[in-house]
Amino acid sequence: MSRSRPTPVPIQISTRLPPLFGSGPLAFPAPDTASAIPVPIVKEFHLAGYIEDRWLKKRPNPKTGKRERTALYGKCTRYRVKGIPGVKDRSFDALQDAKTWLAQAQTDARRGEFVDPRDGAISLKDYIATHWWPTQSGDPSTIERIEQRVRRHILPHLGAQPLNAIGTEVLRHWKKRLEKDLGPTSIRLVWATLSSILQAAVEDRRLGRNPCRSSTVGPPPAAPGRVEAWPPERVLAVREALPDRYRLLLVIGAGLGLRQGEALGLSADDIDFEKEVVHVRRQIKMVRAKLCFALPKGRKVRDVPLPSSVARAIRQHMKEFAPVPVTLPWDDPTPPKTPVEAKHRRPRTYNLLVTGRERKAINRNYFNSYVWKPALATAGVIAALDESSTDGARVWEPSREHGFHALRHFFASEELEAGESVVSLARWLGHSDPGFTLRKYSHFLPRAGARGSAAIDAIFA
């Protein structure tokens, strides 16, 4: 049975145009509201950039139909990629290489991730000297320590390397070299300095990533162990071994928890005997072998409770050694270069509680080597100085854990043992984060759960 074909329906096309809106060249057809179908507007996006052939002219000769040679024919690389915003032109000998690079550069530029390899070809030494170091600012003593790390441990080994040649393999060899001279803590500080330099290069669009943040190579872990506090007997023994004019420094460190620079910079005007409080307003710090006054670490002042025993020691010291007015520059002893720096660094005078024999501010290096460590040796904390050295150098046995900072740990341990809160201790020590105080001194807290256990025992006894 055959199937009949449907009768075709003729399609009529109207040539009558709809009325126009407006007049003149900008007139356009009015939409037929009854039958108009909305049509999406498709925009074409064209990536910027093109390839220029520098050997042949762009347009062919009208007569021969061939592209003629330019004056640069055979004298330079043939293909040049141009026209990508924010991307420098780059030349290639092979057309395919130019196309590949253009496509990748267009993609990276669109994402904001483009890094020109030529910008990373600068040596680490030149990048630091020209681009990174001139932009560094902050506390002068901190800047000095950073400069020492760069000069001693980074530039001698990596300074000649191009930025983009410093990868994980180079860092592994560098780390191995550092381990011959430095301990884990020092290596971590040097590593952090290099990482900040390379991160700046990433943000300057000279590197695509920071190799110091690789998952396969990194600084050594922090040295294990925890802070140990001196027993009271040792504190008293070292105090007795110190010369009379310096004994108050030990009392201030152990009784108030002040840092060494803060103890050296304490003024008679900072002591409020009536309210039983000490105002920690400044420190004495050393910048490029010169002394100056500055705000305490973290640039924050604080108040510390004044125990009566410490108040008596301060009064007794002031009777024997009257406070001495000492004038030093503020914050930075280097000559100022601008009126703003001159105003900020203007010398200031304070009546210091403890001064040296010349009635001057105490240099911490002198104090540590000629006052503190001899007292430690007399008290039996460290070995006596070996006098057999022929070059006259004073080389004490390593005793970092027995530095002046040990008095601060003693203060923290005593306060926590007495039941003071971690929040209060953090405020007195000048810690911005009580969590840091807890992590550092949690083992000094009284036995966890002891009071709770006693309460339970009282119920079921």
The answer on pLDDT for 9 being more than 80 is no
Could you give the strand order of the β-sheet that contains 90-92, starting from the edge strand earlier in sequence? 50-53, 79-82, 90-92
Q: How far is CA 26 from the centre of its chain?
A: 61
The DSSP 8-state label assigned to residue 84 in this structure reads -
- Report the distance separating Cα 305 and Cα 425, nearest Å: 11
pLDDT of residue 179: 92
CA distance 450 to 197: 49
Q: Which amino acid is at 414?
A: E
Q: Which of 119, 121, 116 is nearest to 84 (CA)?
A: 116
DSSP secondary structure code for residue 330 in this structure: B
| 114 pLDDT above the threshold of 80 | no
Mean pLDDT of 282-303: 93
In this predicted structure, the answer to whether residue 29 has a pLDDT above a threshold of 60 is no
pLDDT tens digits for range 135-165:
998 888 899 999 999 999 999 999 999 998 9
β-pairing verdict for 302-305 and 290-294 = unpaired
Total residues found in the chain within this entry: 461
Angle between helices 405-417 and 434-441 (to 10 degrees): 90
Rounded average pLDDT over 112-133 = 84
Q: Looking at residue 354, what is its pLDDT?
A: 96
Spatial distance between the Cα atoms of 270 and 323, rounded to a whole number of angstroms:
12
The answer to whether residues 283 and 313 touch, using CB atoms and an 8 Å cutoff, is: no
SS3 7: coil
Q: Distance between CA 344 and CA 456 in Å, rounded?
A: 60
Helices and strands, number each (H, E), in the chain: 17, 12
The rounded distance, in Å, linking the Cα atoms of 437 and 429 is 9
Please state, in angstroms and as integers, the Cα–Cα distance from residue 273 to each residue in 260, 282, 314, following that order.
22, 19, 10
Per-residue pLDDT reduced to its tens digit, 170-216: 999 999 999 998 888 899 999 999 999 999 998 888 888 899 998 89
Q: Which residue type, as a one-letter code, is found at position 48?
A: A
Over 50: is that where the pLDDT of 73 sits?
Answer: yes
Q: Is the pLDDT of residue 4 over 60?
A: no
Strand partners of residue 293: 284, 330
* Integer Cα distance of 264 and 258 in angstroms: 9
The pLDDT score that the predictor gives to residue 447 is 62
What are the two backbone dihedrals, phi and then psi, of residue 28, each rounded to the nearest 5 degrees? Answer: -140, 155
**Cβ atoms of residues 345 and 330 within 8 Å:** yes
Burial 199-220 (b: 16+ CB within 10 A, else e): ebbbeeebbeebbbeeeebebb
Phi, psi of 156 (to 5 degrees): -60, -25
50-53 and 79-82 as β-strands: parallel, antiparallel, unpaired?
antiparallel
Q: Is 259 helix (H, G, I), strand (E, B) or coil?
A: coil
- Condensed to tens digits (0 to 9), the pLDDT of residues 254-272 reads 999 999 999 999 999 999 9
Q: Is pLDDT above 50 for 45?
A: no
- Could you tell me the end-to-end alpha-carbon distance of the chain, in angstroms, rounded to an integer? 107
Measured distance CA(110)–CA(95) in Å, rounded: 22
